[in-house]
Each structure stands twice: as C-alpha cells, then as structure tokens.
A and B are shown apart, each in its own frame.
Chain A
Amino acid sequence: MPRPSPKALNPLRAPQSYFRIYLRRSAIGLPAKQAGVLDALGLRRRTATVYHPVTPDVAGQIFRVKELVDVEEVDRPLDKKEIKARRTPATGYYVESRAGSAWADE
C-alpha cells in the first residue's frame, strides 16, 4: 500500500501518528466484506500486527472490523526487527569474556 506523505495528510501540521492494529479474532464464517477489509488492511492471519497512518479512511476500515481487532495509537510503526527484539525474552546469561580473548592481544 503506498503511504501518503505526512504533509499531504496533515495540513494542520499535527504530529503524524499511527494505528497499531492487531487481529484478535479471525473473520472465518463472517460476511466476505469483513474478510475483504482485513485483507485490505494487510491482516492475513490471526495475531498479525500492522501499522497504518491515522486517517479517516483507515479509521473507517478499522471501524468495519472493530469486533475483530485491537487498536492502539502509536507515534511510529515498528519494523520487523524491532518487533522480534521486543518479543525475544532475555537469554538468562551474559558473556564475561570470549573464549581465546586472552590470547588475542599477543
């Protein structure tokens, strides 16, 4: 989906923010329209998360599937790497020194 530039969206120069949309319930067995809206939003499977800029168009799309999604307003979209980093738990250990590092200076 081509993302319109922030200036075009906000003539009032309000800071651009995004909707974080999380698909909580699937549209299986619901009218095809709702499945179509999910597809248009880029939500292809349950537990998927997408970011869209705050516009009336996107709000209307979310409104159509409001029973299926969770929505938050965020300052910026997270990319895949950041999402993964947030999901990954701490390793439970830390490295004091690498093996062989004592000989590295010589």
Chain B
Amino acid sequence: MFGPFRATQSLSVGLLWKIPWRLSPTQKARQRKRLRRVDDVVATLDHALAKLRMSTKKLERWKEEMPREEEMLPKDKYTVFDRKEKKYRKALHKLPKWTRVSQRLNPPGF
C-alpha cells in the first residue's frame, strides 16, 4: 500500500506516464526566472569586459542572435519545436534537462 513498490496505476498498467502535457503557471514563472538569470550572467560578463574594451566572439554572437527574456514570445518560452509532434510543438518540460539548457530559438515558421 505504501513504499516504493506500491500498486499505483503507472506501475501496474505498463506504459502510463502521468506527466502533464503543459507547464503549470508556477513552472512557467520559474522558467522565466531562469531565463532572466542567464540574461543577467551574460549582461554581467559583457559589462565587465566592455570596461576593459574587450569581448569574446561567443558573447557577441549570443547578443546578436539570442532574444532576451522580455523579447521572447510566450510560444518560444514554454514550448519547443519537435518534428514528431502534432503542430510541431511540445511543452518545454519534455526537453531533457530543460531547467539547465538554453533553448530559445526555434526553426522559423514553426
């Protein structure tokens, strides 16, 4: 009845994963926070190097290509492109290690 081997639905019925198909509002809020945190790190690096009149290629490329959190569309913040999915989008939390990777850009038109 209790413990790790209890007879829950997902254990006794075979393949049954009860992972919600969309993010909860709290998950979305935390995701925005993580995005802003990465933006802050990049801004700090850029600011510190700019004082020495230096920069790095990767930093420049990130600033040029990557949208900041406030510039992103909700669609891109909370979903990712997936070619196998109906309408080509799946919720971000289906992405492995989604809280520790930067996934901001998606193929244009999808």
Contact = CB atoms under 8 A, between A and B. Distances in A.
Contacts of A69: 41
Among all A-B residue pairs, the 10 with the closest Cβ atoms: A66-B41, A73-B48, A54-B48, A59-B45, A71-B44, A71-B41, A56-B56, A67-B100, A60-B56, A56-B54
Nearest to B96: A29
A30 B45 contact: no
B38 A54 contact: no
A99 interface: no
Interface residues of B, number: 25
Interface residues of A, number: 22
Nearest to A57: B56
Given A56-B56, A59-B59, A67 B44 contact: no
Contacts, number: 61
Given A30-B97, A66-B41, A12 B48 contact: no
19 contacts: A10-B52, A12-B53, A17-B51, A29-B97, A54-B52, A59-B48, A60-B58, A63-B58, A63-B62, A67-B38, A67-B100, A67-B101, A69-B41, A71-B40, A71-B44, A71-B45, A73-B44, A73-B47, A73-B48
Contacts of B48: 17, 19, 54, 59, 73
Interface of A: 10, 12, 14, 17, 19, 25, 29-30, 54, 56, 59-60, 62-63, 66-73
